[in-house]
């Protein structure tokens, strides 16, 4: 049985208790549109089980992070940005502006992305 946090927004999305625009799903990860997009393509890829951040997910199950990146690539291809380029962002911790403490990747694309990002 996957680990969940009953107070976690993203765990509630995985469970279907909070609606989201799901764009892709596997048995281990879910991708959905960000409600405040920063680019034409802006989706979040989250693990189905709860991990506080990407580092915790990698420590618990390194293959899970690979599954998340694979799903992010599928989202980029589905949105037509795989060839032109896309960015994966993982904010880890408060100083990195992580606001939901459930591991996630932002998939950003569809426009020229500047560097450095913040």
Residues with catalytic function: 104
d(CA 76, CA 83): 9
Angle at 3 between CA 42 and CA 101, to 5 degrees: 45
Listed residue (82, 79, 95, 77) closest to 34, CA to CA:
79
């Amino acid at each position: 049985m996957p680990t969940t946090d009953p107070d976690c927004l993203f765990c509630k999305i995985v469970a279907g208790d909070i609606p989201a625009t799901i764009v892709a799903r596997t048995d281990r990860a879910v991708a959905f549109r960000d409600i405040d997009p920063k680019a034409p393509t802006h989706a979040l890829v989250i693990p189905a089980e709860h991990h506080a951040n990407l580092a915790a997910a990698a420590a618990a199950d390194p293959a899970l992070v690979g599954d998340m990146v694979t799903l992010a690539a599928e989202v980029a291809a589905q949105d037509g940005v795989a060839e032109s380029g896309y960015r994966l962002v993982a904010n880890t911790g408060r100083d990195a502006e992580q606001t939901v403490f459930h591991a996630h990747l932002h998939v950003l694309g569809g426009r020229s992305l500047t560097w450095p990002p913040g």
